[in-house]
Amino acid sequence: MDYVIATDSTCDIPKQMLRSMQVYSRDMTYFVNDVAYGKDEANQLEFHQFYNAMRAGARTGTSMINEQTAREFLTELTSMGKNVLYLSFASVLSGTYDNFKRIADELNAENANKVHVVDSKCASGGEGLFVTLVAQKRDSGATFDEVCEYAEKIRDNVIHYFVVEDLKYLARGGRLSKGSAFFGNMLNIKPVLHVDEQGRLIPIKKVIGRKKSLCMLVEKMEERYNKDSDIVYITHGDCYEDAKFVADAVTAKFGVHPQILPLSYVIGSHSGPGTVALFFTGDSRAEK
């Protein structure tokens, strides 16, 4: 092909899996007690270590990919003599998209090879599913222009649903008031959240109890799943058995076999340990 596909680590697809898909990626930085990680593959915490640190009260945070890193990455890719399609983390959740778009515009004015940056308006395994669908389109023989057009079109068909174990992490990120988080935890209230058409994480329903919240993920899939793709992803914040419970329920109901993936440190920094999220294709993200 005369082009390559690239993305960032918030797609929550492991590096080895991305390599097998022939998709390049750049890591975002995350912080644990003000120590930076994620600048390269060797500079990472172990999965359980990260989430156990959060459980123990560690301060966590994240940093977008800055312009310098974006320029280095895109320059590296265009130096291969190919066009580049960059699929970015949702712009409403990070400034990463704006930085890549700005650098792409500069490179496009200077070079023959072109860089097209798409705001996925997705997060976590939703971004991962989006990347997977676009890579499949490439593998079908689509040209650079065709795959760019497809990416702009398909992103609204990627459906996201999340549940969390502890509301304090949403409160810490400003997505819930501290008072609501306190009383919600006390009453065992578990909100079900989705990512809307702009990429915003929106609470849509409140249920009582962990198991009911996990079952609600499957109920929402029953409402929205259009069966255009049998690829279904589930991400989890160090709660594999809960993710498997959802995966088994999806298999029993729809006959598809979800792939369970670790929730990345960048996303997990804001949703916390115990997060379970389900991603699949639907006709639209708009809630009915």
> For position 172, which CATH number holds?
3.30.1180.10
Question: Where a domain ends, among 156, 174, 196?
Answer: 156
The answer to whether 11 and 128 are in contact (CB under 8 A) is yes
Please tell me whether residues 186 and 205 are part of one structural domain.
yes
CATH code, domain carrying 56: 3.40.50.10170
Please tell me whether residues 147 and 261 are part of one structural domain.
no
Query: What is the model's pLDDT at position 40?
Result: 67
Tell me, yes or no, whether 252 lies in a domain: yes
Query: What is the model's pLDDT at position 113?
Result: 84
Please tell me whether residues 162 and 101 are part of one structural domain.
no
Mean pLDDT, contiguous 10-residue spans, the chain (288 residues): 94 95 95 86 84 94 94 95 96 95 95 93 97 98 97 96 82 57 58 90 86 96 96 98 98 98 92 95 89
Domain hosting 232: range is: 157-281
Query: What is the model's pLDDT at position 190?
Result: 83
Query: What is the model's pLDDT at position 183?
Result: 43
Please tell me whether residues 152 and 22 are part of one structural domain.
yes
Tell me, yes or no, whether 136 lies in a domain: yes
Tell me, yes or no, whether 288 lies in a domain: no
Question: Where a domain ends, among 112, 136, 156?
Answer: 156
Question: Where a domain ends, among 139, 156, 173?
Answer: 156
Query: What is the model's pLDDT at position 215?
Result: 96
Strand locations in the chain (E): 3-8, 23-26, 29-32, 35-37, 60-63, 83-88, 115-119, 158-163, 189-195, 201-208, 233-236, 259-262, 276-281
The answer to whether 172 and 166 are in contact (CB under 8 A) is no
> Which of 248, 269, 280 has the alpha carbon at shortest distance from 33?
269
Tell me, yes or no, whether 286 lies in a domain: no
When divided into structural domains, the chain yields a total of 2
Edge-first strand listing for the sheet containing 29-32: 35-37, 29-32, 60-63
Query: What is the model's pLDDT at position 182?
Result: 44
Please tell me whether residues 148 and 82 are part of one structural domain.
yes
Tell me, yes or no, whether 63 lies in a domain: yes
Please tell me whether residues 140 and 49 are part of one structural domain.
yes
Please tell me whether residues 220 and 173 are part of one structural domain.
yes
Tell me, yes or no, whether 223 lies in a domain: yes
Query: What is the model's pLDDT at position 166?
Result: 79
Tell me, yes or no, whether 287 lies in a domain: no
pTM to 2 decimals? 0.93
> Which of 98, 102, 77 has the alpha carbon at shortest distance from 89?
98
- Coil, helix or strand for 265? helix
Q: What does the pLDDT look like over 75-125, one tens digit per residue?
A: 999 999 999 999 999 999 999 999 999 999 999 998 888 999 999 999 999
